Structure 1
Amino acid sequence: MDKKEGGLLNWMKGLLSRRGKRREQKIKRLTKQIGVIEGDNSGSINLFAPLPDDTPFIMLEVYRYLRDNMPDLSDAVWTWKKLCNTGFSLIFDKTTSEYVREQARRAISNLDNRVNSGNGGMAELLDILYASLFTYGSAGLEIVFEPDASFIYDVVPVDVWTIRFAWEGGKWQAYQVHPGGNVRLPAERFMYFALDRDGTNPYGRSILRSLPGVIRIQQRLMDDMARAMHNAGWARMHIQYKPAERLSGETEEEYQQRMEGYLEQLKKELSGLTVDQNIITFDNIDVNVVQGSQRFPAYYETQRAIEEQIITGTHLMPILLGRNYGTTETYGTVQYEIINRQIDTINSKIAKGLEQIYNLELALEGINTSVRVEARSNRSSEVLKQTYAETNRLNLLLKMMESGVITREELREEISKSQLIKSAQK
């Protein structure tokens, strides 16, 4: 293990040993469950709610470090954000004229290009938002208006590890913590997305929350494996030297010096050998090769057990983290459906946020309409089977109407609920 990885292991040990403690100077624990008192350099004090399970806020920085340095966790966050970033569709009311729709689309397109300070626009902003959501369990956006409030000038991401919440006026009020003081974030301009909220706690829960202990074990295992492989995994030469007999009249000290001189000379000559040179010695020197044929089956079994904990902790399936454990098609299909349900839940929150931003922009620009935002589906699993089943269901409804079992109005109502019909109309 190199110096950097060894430093990571020691760093993780130090952080995990301090879990549950607060920073002595900046944070003091209250006896009340409502929150913690957090001071700043200006001497002001705000009543802030703690993270779920009283997790120290410094753990948010730990999650970022793990994401950037642990390949499995980096891949998990990357996979989740790519699965979720499927794009969004704009849906207008049927009564909206085509002229107004075109105006609205143009205004929204211009806004998409402006946001994130023009650095990649809305697509890049959503990528940042999803990365934050699956790293810290939350993401924040701030709306920046043009000085005359004629349109939205920008939408920028907010560093969520600086966000704190205080209970004010019967609701949670967001603050941003800075060394020079705490900044109140206006509710009309600040948007906060939380993943897997815990009861009334306003903060989200990171998917990496359960993994630091497992990562510590993994790093120790990697360290042990590297040491073992370095010691026994490579072939090496074993030189055996039979000392010459002691000369007549030679003292013990002189004999030792002569033998050590021979050994140093032999070591010097052997260390300078190139690949196309041979060893020629007297018969009092034996040269053997110690084969590095040792294997470590126990290591791979242990490593797989740790990988399974990481896969479970990140709510993914083995194949999505580059593993193939020979899972059955049925298991893979069910697991992927569960993942897609989580994606739908998350994207519905993001869609509501985008809907709020877009409708605010339309109102500021004086365009008399509103838009509904809907996340596009990424479901490729069982698509043909679902389509076939839905087609058969619609054909059965038509036959039931022709036979007088149901009325035309009942048929129309059932057809309006069909996901197949809705997809064809988009």
Structure 2
Amino acid sequence: MAFWDKWFKKRIDYDVAKVVRASMQGAMLPTTRSRETVSKWEQQFFWYEGIIKRPTLKSSEVMESLKLIRDISPDASMAIWNILRLANNGHELEVEKPNGTVDKRATDYLNSLAPNIGKLYGGGTDQLINVLLLTIYTQGAIALEVELTEDISAVKEFHAVDPSTLDFRRNPDTGEPELVQKQRTGQYKVLNPETVFYYPFDPDVGDPYGRSPILPVLQIVFFQVEVLKDLKKVIHHQGHQRFDIKVLEEAIIDNMPDEIKHQGPEAVKNFVMSYVADVRNQMNQLEADDDFFHTDSVEIDMAGGAIGQSLDATRVIDIINQQVVTALKQLPILLGRNEGSTETHSTIQWQIYVNGIESIQRGIKRILERAYNVALQVGGFQGRAVITFDSLRTSDRLKDAQAEEVETRTKIAQINQGWIDNDEGAMEIVGHEAVAEPKAPVTGQTAQPTPPTPQDNNPDNQGDPNATDESQRSLKKKTVRGLTMVK
């Protein structure tokens, strides 16, 4: 009987501990199930039809200024050229089934659709990707609409949409933001989230519109224009040589008639002004290839052309160029600036630049995959579209081969030491198990070039055993040790 009492007591203690543990976990849960924080756009004091206000630097006027600068500024135009050519270097489109395998029939369906989209830009996904890349690099956002046929049985077209024409509005019922577009009537139309997609690039907290990567170029380009205007004035005023025409006062006095001298100061002044005006008119009427004909009362010389002595504009231009390169998120070499750098630094800079291009490609990839998924749904296919852009090389093939050689020799040494087996080494090097055992013993070392001996550099000293050269004695010692080890 005591045994059952002890068993029931343990059971009761276990059940009580279980209830206490569950109660404690429930007590630690938050008392509210709704969101407690408030976004910045929800704190707007004045709501105009619930529209989430765009920041000043992301307004449509600023976006139009960026479009203008990217087309007329040589540096910005070159940056656009680089982005479009490097980011749109080819891609592959496939459809994956829910089990992860490739659906060839669905892939062929999407590939047959790809050449017929983007007809406004010449047709083809490549052209549409170029438009999207240009938009996301300029405005920091992209938008795409999938147009279906009337019977919703197929995709008719993919339309790239200007992101600056779209806004987000707070839904009065749910409080969630929804994508809208202002119509000609002045009313806002709620867009279908299943066919119209908006992707912001590097959005800020509480801001659904995204951030333009080249927005800082506005400040530096305006400064560059002002500096170039001022530099132009300086060059025109000081940079070119000009005629220095001097009218000699003594000659005027000697040639002045006596009756003018006796008429008083006013008559003398009028004579001098008339004399100088005649010389000025004569010089102004000269053509570029005319010769000078004048009396000895006029002396002609050259002046100016000393801008290098008074102003060095290269330092200012260098600072501006550095700011332009930084604002456009480019490398100096890609904008025609040759700056000295080590090979290691150049490689790291290129890798960082390629990572930036890949981040832009991810935005294009996501929005196009969503559009292609709509095409799969209306086409009756189960699966998801996967777009893979061709990768950009970020390393040197020779260095990669050398690194692979070192890794291979290391694995061979580990196999010879018995640390790992042949299959483990093959898996790490080639990605699959070894197909056979080694056919010959491998040392894991490669032949190294033999360094020149002191005898080669000193033909007069033919390996004399009595030689006193310290390096030769050291070499002899190493050779003897090597022979002893071989024995």
TM-score for the superposition, normalised by structure 1? 0.77
For the Cα contact (< 8 Å) 1:401–1:411, is it kept in 2?
no
What corresponds to 1:177 in structure 2? 182
Code of the aligned partner of 1:159: D
**Structure 2 Cα separation of the partners of residues 199 and 131 of structure 1:** 24
In the alignment, does 2:231 pair up with 1:217? no
Contact 2:136 2:360 (8 Å CA) reproduced: no
Q: Which moved more, 1:186-195 or 1:84-93?
A: 84-93
Contact 1:108 1:361 in 2 (8 A): no
Q: Which residue number in structure 1 is paired with residue 365 of structure 2?
A: 351
Equivalent pairs: percent with the same residue?
Answer: 24
After superposition, where does 1:15-414 map in structure 2 within 5 Å?
33-34=41-42, 36=44, 37=46, 39=48, 45-51=49-55, 58-91=61-94, 101=104, 104-105=107-108, 107-117=110-120, 119-168=122-171, 169=174, 171-178=176-183, 180-243=186-249, 244-245=252-253, 246-250=256-260, 251=263, 252-295=265-308, 298-366=312-380, 370-379=384-393, 381-390=395-404, 393=407, 405-406=420-421, 408=423, 412=427
Question: Matched residues in 1 for 2:212 and 2:376: separation?
Answer: 34
Choose 388-397 or 62-71, whichever is displaced more. 388-397
- 1:209-255 superposed Cα distances (whole Å, 9 cap, x missing partner): 33433333322212211111111111111111125234223234444
Displacement of 1:159 in angstroms is: 1.2
Max Rg structure: 2
Q: Distance in 1 between matches of 2:388 and 2:285?
A: 71
Aligned twin of 2:22: none
Whole-angstrom distance in 2 between the partners of 1:308 and 1:387:
35
In the TM superposition, residue 118 of structure 1 has moved relative to its aligned partner by 5.7
Give me the whole-angstrom Cα distance separating, in 2, the residues matched to 1:336 and 1:218.
Answer: 27
- Matched to 2:315, the amino acid is E
Report the more deviating stretch, 156-165 or 202-211: 202-211
Query: CA distance change for structure 1 residues 68 and 313 in 2, over 3 Å: closer, same or farther?
Result: same
- Amino acid across the alignment from 1:261: S
Q: Distance in 1 between matches of 2:101 and 2:330?
A: 44
Q: Secondary structure at the match of 1:341?
A: helix
SS in 2 for 1:405: coil
Hey, what does 1:422 align to over in structure 2?
A: none
Q: TM-score, normalised by structure 2?
A: 0.68
- For 1:57 and 1:171, how far apart are their aligned partners in 2? 24
How far is 1:281 from its partner? 1.7
| Partner amino acid, structure 2, of 1:237 | F
Cα gap change, 1:68 to 1:117, in 2 (>3 Å): closer
Q: Is the 8 A contact 1:241 1:284 kept in 2?
A: yes
The 1:398/1:342 distance shift into structure 2, 3 A limit, reads farther
By how many angstroms is 1:293 displaced? 2.5
Gaps of 5+ in 2: 1-38, 433-487
* CA deviations over 1:279-302 (Å, ceiling 9, x no partner): 122211101111413226532211
- Secondary structure at 2:277 match in 1: helix
C-alpha contact (below 8 Å) 2:165/2:181 kept by paired residues: yes
The letter for the 1-side match of 2:164 is W
Distance (Å, rounded) in 2 between the aligned partners of 1:102 and 1:56: 44
Q: Partner of 1:46: helix, strand, or coil?
A: coil
Provide the alpha-carbon RMSD of the alignment. 3.4
1:298 is paired with a residue whose SS is coil
Aligned residue type for 1:151: A
Task: Give the drift of 1:353.
Answer: 2.5
Query: Which 10-residue stretch deviates more, 155-164 or 198-207?
Result: 198-207
Check whether the contact 1:47–1:166 (CA below 8 A) recurs between aligned residues. yes
After TM superposition, give the deviation of residue 184 of structure 1 in Å. 1.6
Q: Which letter maps to 1:197?
A: P
Cα distance change of structure 1 residues 409 and 240 upon mapping to structure 2, 3 Å threshold: closer
* Preserved contact between residue 216 and residue 327 of structure 2 (Cα < 8 Å): yes
Alpha-carbon offset, residue 381 of structure 1: 3.6
Structure 1 window deviating more from structure 2 (219-228 vs 206-215): it is 206-215
> After superposition, what is the alpha-carbon deviation per residue over 1:360-392, rounded to whole angstroms, capped at 9, x for unaligned?
323433456654211111225424423543465
Equivalent pair of 1:136/1:160 in contact (CA under 8 Å): yes
Gap change, CA 1:335 and 1:111, over 3 Å in 2? same
Distance 1:408 1:357, change over 3 A: farther
Residue identity in the other structure for 1:264: A
Q: What CA distance in whole angstroms lies between the structure 1 residues aligned with 2:408 and 2:169? A: 52
Greater fraction of residues in strand? 1
CA distance in 1, matches of 2:161, 2:190: 13
